[in-house]
Amino acid sequence: MDAEQLTTIHGQTLEGPLLIKPRVFGDVRGWFYESWNLRAFNQAVGEAVVFSQDNHSRSIRGVLRGLHYQLSPEPQAKLVRASVGAIFDVAVDLRRSSPSFGKWIGTELSEENKHQLWIPEGFAHGFLTLSPTAEVQYKARGFWNRSCERAIRWDDEHLAIQWPKHALHGEKVSLSGKDAEAPSFSAVQSTGDLFP
């Protein structure tokens, strides 16, 4: 497994998230890879991670889920991959003490490239489905907790995430009712629903 830090569109490195690239062994018969290995993963992230739950979603092209995060006492970290299709996956730094506070990174995760994105606590997460359908699986550290759950608008002007909408072939972005009503980044800052 290889792991690398990602940079923002302006070249700034975000400390925390890592792009995980498993080693894939294949031939004309097919392929094999370890989608997760405790020892290799903990070495890559530099800490002992204990996952609490596995999640699995299926979406059609244009579905955008996010930007979601959970505050204390039950923040969540996620290891995300697309086992079917392709998504554009995003992490936004919500740690007020971070030099990259309010910055984002994004990368394509797909059935083809088999990449994964590690998103530690302190970040909001979202993804846009690029393929006709996509199945997204992620391991989570920390249980889902409705009272800790928060969201930020996917198209917030301050964050200015460059979602690859050109890949939707004319289809519109599709949101859940909850995500469509998510507050702006500035509103979240004013309520203090962020990380230290």
**Domain CATH number, residue 52:** 2.60.120.10
Q: Which amino acid is at 118?
A: W
What pLDDT was estimated at residue 42? 93
In a domain, 30, yes or no: yes
Per the document, the length of the chain is 196
pTM: 0.94
Residue 48 near residue 136, CB atoms below 8 Å: no
Does 68 qualify as catalytic in the annotation?
A: yes
In a domain, 54, yes or no: yes
Token pair, residue 49, equals: 């991670």
Find the DSSP H helices in the chain. 38-45, 177-180, 185-191
Average pLDDT value for residue range 101-125: 97
User: Of the residues 10, 68, 158, 169, which is catalytic?
Assistant: 68
Does 69 qualify as catalytic in the annotation?
A: no
Domain range for residue 114? Answer: 2-191
- The pLDDT of residue 10 is above 90: no
Residue 182 near residue 67, CB atoms below 8 Å: yes
- The pLDDT of residue 150 is above 90: yes
Tokens 């072939």 -> residue: 169
Cα distance between residue 104 and residue 52, in whole Å: 25
Average pLDDT value for residue range 158-173: 94
Token pair, residue 128, equals: 């846009």
Residue 5 near residue 18, CB atoms below 8 Å: yes
In a domain, 196, yes or no: no
Radius of gyration (C-alpha) of the chain in whole angstroms:
16
In a domain, 147, yes or no: yes
User: Of the residues 69, 115, 125, 138, which is catalytic?
Assistant: 138
Average pLDDT value for residue range 164-187: 95
In a domain, 150, yes or no: yes
Per the structure, how many domains does the chain have?
1
- The pLDDT of residue 9 is above 90: no
In a domain, 67, yes or no: yes
Average pLDDT value for residue range 45-70: 97
Q: 164 vs 4, 76, 158, CA distance in Å?
A: 22, 26, 18
In a domain, 151, yes or no: yes
